[in-house]
Amino acid sequence: MDIAGNSLYCPPNLLCFHVCHFCHFVVCGMGGRVKNRTSLYPLLFAVFALVFAANYILQQFEISSNFSRNYLDDLLAMPVILYLAQVLMRWIYRTPELVLDNLMLLYGFLMASLSFEWILPKYYMHLTADFWDVICYAIGTLAFFILNRARHKEPK
């Protein structure tokens, strides 16, 4: 509740808007910083997304551990978001070999960390800023970096 007694609840569609807005910045704001290489097999990211969705469903039925309730989504968020941004950029630029470069990964990590752990908690009381979430975003970004480059090494 704010000072006037109004609820500061952020409906899921507004959170989706923030995520889409983030992806838009990644796609449009960093569009010139790409490298043409093959990427990780998409099935792995489908598994990440399914685990993410399953965790959400289990939380609705209150069937989850402290780790899955507090940190699993944050660990999986960056690989899923970055992969979706990469797919969108491939579609927009019509370049199926396009892979996000290191600066774009850093940009995505910083945008997620600042948005979800600093800015949004200031405006929505039901959101909590947590340093461990930032660590989870960093681990997820690092996992995306390693997995996305594991199948094809940097061209010489």
Name the phi and psi angles at 12, rounded to 5. -55, -35
Percent of the chain past pLDDT 70, that is, above it, reads 69
Mean pLDDT of all residues in 14-34: 45
pLDDT higher than 70, residue 16: no
Supply the pLDDT for residue 124: 94
Supply the pLDDT for residue 137: 97
Mean pLDDT of all residues in 43-49: 83
Whole-prediction pTM: 0.70
Supply the pLDDT for residue 76: 92
What is the DSSP secondary structure assignment for residue 151, as one 8-state letter?
S
Supply the pLDDT for residue 74: 92
pLDDT level of residue 66 (50, 70, 90 thresholds): confident
Residue whose token pair is 């959400």: 56
| Tokens coding 55 | 């965790």
pLDDT higher than 60, residue 95: yes
pLDDT higher than 80, residue 155: no
- Locate the domains of the chain by residue range: 12-150
CA distance 92 to 152: 22
Calculate the average pLDDT of the chain. 77
Helix axis angle for 102-114 and 131-150, nearest 10°, is 160
Q: Are 74 and 133 in contact (CB under 8 A)?
A: yes
Supply the pLDDT for residue 151: 56
pLDDT higher than 90, residue 92: yes
CA distance 48 to 27: 21
Mean pLDDT of all residues in 119-145: 94
